[in-house]
Amino acid sequence: MITADAWSKTPTTALIVLADGTVIEGKGIGASGSAPGEVCFNTAITGYEEILTDPSYAGQIITFTFPHIGNVGTNEDDIETVNMAAASGVRGIILRADITQPSNYRASRHFDAWLKARGIIGITGIDTRALTAIIREKGMPNGIICHAPDGQFDLDDLKAKAKAFSGLEGLDLAKDVTSPQTYEWDETTWKWDEGFGKQTDTRHHVVAMDFGVKRNILRLLADQGCRVTVVPATASAEEILAHNPDGVFLSNGPGDPAATGEYAVPTIRKLIERDLPIFGICLGHQMLALALGAKTTKMHQGHHGANHPVSDFTTGKVEITSMNHGFAVDTDTLPEGVEETHRSLFDGTNCGLRVTGKPIFSVQHHPEASPGPQDSLYLFKRFMEVIEESKKVAA
Respond yes or no: is residue 366 known to be catalytic: yes
Residue of 288, 340, 333 whose CA lies nearest to 313:
340
204 in active site = no
Question: Pick the catalytic residue: 40, 146, 226, 282?
Answer: 282
CA 363 → CA 8, 18, 58, distances in Å? 43, 32, 20
Q: Are 85 and 175 in contact (CB under 8 A)?
A: no
Neighbour tally for 266: CB within 10 Å: 12
Q: How far is 124 from 178, CA to CA, in rounded Å?
A: 31
Sequence-separated (6 or more) residues with CB below 8 Å from residue 137 = none
Cα–Cα distance, 30 to 114 (Å, whole number):
8
Q: Does residue 68 carry a catalytic annotation?
A: no
- Quick one: the chain helix, strand, coil %, rounded to 5? 25, 30, 40
Residue 310, SS3 per DSSP: strand
Residues annotated as catalytic (active site), given as ranges: 282, 366, 368
